[in-house]
């Protein structure tokens, strides 16, 4: 019995194994030991995204400290003599709205609503979507068909109408609205993740797991779901802006977060007809939604790449 050591090429004459991937083993060894936060920290866009998200969270949490106005109290000095809203100036950094309320204050308080909707509603939608998509894709057969036909049904049903019905049945509150949005939004994610799981469960490494005697739960959680992470992240970041806007639509229809509680979406909807005379009223909350969605996008992209061992350089 030949005692083989490290390099198989060393003990055998003849052509050597071709080098793998082109990656320098010593260099990537260094890379592997770095932790995930450390690796994220080397991506400028990810840092920018994290900072923006932290700023939003801080703004929401510390709103009462950051501003001396109340979000829902109209101010006499917030309007011109003819009753028009004020553009940004020294007292009102982002201007005032139609009722003379400070826009910065409303955006800061509105961040609470929008973050809860964007993260909680979207997160719940993703969890439901992943669960249904992965289970249906993995088991296929009767369970798979039943789950996917139900998904199709939900997809075919007008989402807005469903949300209105649900919101009308339950008393509208922030958390109910979040759940309603989650129940409407899981469908697309489920559809996409179903297809991906179907393809994944045909892969040979899943077969190898089965041949080793691995149980269903282990295969699903340890080998299927990790491969779904990139798609989940992409859907999650895309979902932030759509859910925030869906909340705004619901508010507009009177079944969302009830006024005078501000959310970024309902600030836009309240003021959209005055877009021409008072553009700041739509621009600032719109910019806030855009910044938040982009920030999640940057962080999501970075996470997706860093969580995939084959993508690291």
Partner 1 sequence: MPPALVAEGLTLTVGRERPRQLVSGLSFALAKGETLCLAGESGSGKSLTALAVMGLLPRAVRVTGGRITLGDTELTGLPEAAMRPIRGDRVAMIFQEPMTSLNPVLTIGRQLTEAIRAHRPVGRAEARRAAIAALDAVRIPEAARRLEQHPHELSGGMRQRVMIAMALALRPDVLIADEPTTALDVTVQREVLALLADLKDEIGMGLVLITHDMGVVAEVADRVLVMRAGRQVEEGPVAEIFARPAADYTRALLAAVPRMGTAARADAPKRRPVLAATDLCVRYDLDSGVMGMGSRRRVFAVEGVSFEVGERETLSLVGESGCGKSTIARALAGLVPYSGDIVVDGRNAANLDRAGTMALRRDVQMIFQDPFASLDPRMKVGDLVAEPLTIHALGSRAERRERVADLFARVGLSPDQMDRYPHEFSGGQRQRICIARALALRPKLIVADESVSALDVSVQARVLELLKELQEAFGIAYLFISHDMAVVDQISDRVAVMRLGQIVEMGTAAQVFDDPRHSYTRRLIEAVPIPDPSRRTFTGARLAGEIASPVRARHDPPPRLLLRNVGGGHWVAEESEAMAAA
Q: Report, in Å, the least distance between residue 45 CB and partner 1.
A: 21
Rounded-to-integer distance, Cα 114 and Cα 116, Å: 5
Under 8 Å between Cβ of 129 and 193: yes
Q: According to CB under 8 A, which residues from 254 to 313 bind partner 1?
A: 308-310
Is the preceding omega at residue 260 within 30 degrees of 0, hence cis?
A: yes
Rounded-to-integer distance, Cα 57 and Cα 50, Å: 11
Phi, psi of 234 (to 5 degrees): -65, -45
Those residues whose C-beta lies under 8 Å from the C-beta of residue 79, and which sit 6 or more positions away, are: 85, 86, 96, 99, 100
Residue 27 touches partner 1, criterion: CB under 8 A: no
Residue 234 touches partner 1, criterion: CB under 8 A: no
Q: Report, in Å, the least distance between residue 125 CB and partner 1.
A: 24
Task: For the chain, report the end-to-end CA distance as a whole number of angstroms.
Answer: 39
Rounded-to-integer distance, Cα 127 and Cα 125, Å: 6
Q: According to CB under 8 A, which residues from 104 to 123 bind partner 1?
A: none
Among 5, 35, 171, 276, binds partner 1 (CB under 8 A): 5
Among 129, 223, 250, 299, binds partner 1 (CB under 8 A): 223
If residue 307 lies in a helix (H) or strand (E), which one and from where to where?
helix 280-307
Under 8 Å between Cβ of 260 and 97: no
Those residues whose C-beta lies under 8 Å from the C-beta of residue 222, and which sit 6 or more positions away, are: none
Span from 13-21, 52-60, 244-252, 259-267 in contact with partner 1 (CB under 8 A)? 13-21
Instruction: For CA atoms 237, 243, 244, 246, give the dihedral sign.
Output: positive
Residue 2 touches partner 1, criterion: CB under 8 A: yes
Residues binding partner 1: what is the number (CB under 8 A)?
Answer: 41
Q: Report, in Å, the least distance between residue 46 CB and partner 1.
A: 20
Rounded-to-integer distance, Cα 223 and Cα 138, Å: 11
Phi, psi of 97 (to 5 degrees): -100, -170
Span from 76-84, 100-108, 202-210, 278-286 in contact with partner 1 (CB under 8 A)? 202-210
Q: Report, in Å, the least distance between residue 220 CB and partner 1.
A: 13
Span from 40-48, 101-109, 178-186, 220-228 in contact with partner 1 (CB under 8 A)? 220-228
Residue 8 touches partner 1, criterion: CB under 8 A: yes
Q: According to CB under 8 A, which residues from 141 to 160 bind partner 1?
A: none
The smaller minimum CB distance to partner 1, of residues 5 and 68, is found at 5
Among 205, 216, 221, 254, binds partner 1 (CB under 8 A): 205
Residue 1 touches partner 1, criterion: CB under 8 A: yes
Among 204, 217, 277, 313, binds partner 1 (CB under 8 A): 204
Q: Report, in Å, the least distance between residue 196 CB and partner 1.
A: 14
Span from 16-24, 172-180, 266-274, 281-289 in contact with partner 1 (CB under 8 A)? 16-24
Chain centroid, CA 279 distance in Å: 28
Q: Report, in Å, the least distance between residue 59 CB and partner 1.
A: 36
Residue 218 touches partner 1, criterion: CB under 8 A: yes
Residue 175 touches partner 1, criterion: CB under 8 A: no
Distances (CA, A) of 18 to 7, 8, 14, 28, 218: 12, 12, 12, 18, 34
Task: Summarize as ranges the residues that interact with partner 1 (CB under 8 A).
Answer: 1-2, 4-8, 11-15, 17-23, 25, 28, 32, 203-205, 207-215, 218, 223, 226-227, 308-310
């Amino acid at each position: 019995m030949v005692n083989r050591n490290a390099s198989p090429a060393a003990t055998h004459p003849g052509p050597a194994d071709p080098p793998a991937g082109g990656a320098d083993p010593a260099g990537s060894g260094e890379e592997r030991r770095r932790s995930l936060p450390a690796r994220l920290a080397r991506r400028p866009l990810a840092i920018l995204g994290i900072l923006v998200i932290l700023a939003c969270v801080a703004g929401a949490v510390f709103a009462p400290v950051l501003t001396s106005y109340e979000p829902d109290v109209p101010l006499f000095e917030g309007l011109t003599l003819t009753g028009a809203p004020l553009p940004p100036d020294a007292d009102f950094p982002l201007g005032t709205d139609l009722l003379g309320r400070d826009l910065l204050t409303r955006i800061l308080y509105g961040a609470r609503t929008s973050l809860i909707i964007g993260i909680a509603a979207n997160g719940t939608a993703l969890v439901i979507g992943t669960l249904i998509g992965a289970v249906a894709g993995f088991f296929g057969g009767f369970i798979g068909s039943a789950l996917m036909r139900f998904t199709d049904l939900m997809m075919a049903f007008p989402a807005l109408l469903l949300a209105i019905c649900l919101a009308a049945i339950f008393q509208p509150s922030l958390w109910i609205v979040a759940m309603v949005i989650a129940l409407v939004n899981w469908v697309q994610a489920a559809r996409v993740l179903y297809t991906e799981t179907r393809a994944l469960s045909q892969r040979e490494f899943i077969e190898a797991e089965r041949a080793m005697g691995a149980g269903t739960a282990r295969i699903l959680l340890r080998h299927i779901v990790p491969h779904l992470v990139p798609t989940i992240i992409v859907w999650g970041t895309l979902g932030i802006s759509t859910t925030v806007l869906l909340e705004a639509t619901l508010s507009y229809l009177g079944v969302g977060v009830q006024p005078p509680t501000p959310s970024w979406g309902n600030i836009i909807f309240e003021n959209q007809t005055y877009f021409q005379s008072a553009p700041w009223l739509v621009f600032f909350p719109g910019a806030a939604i855009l910044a938040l969605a982009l920030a999640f996008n940057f962080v999501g992209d970075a996470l997706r790449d860093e969580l995939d061992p084959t993508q690291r350089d």
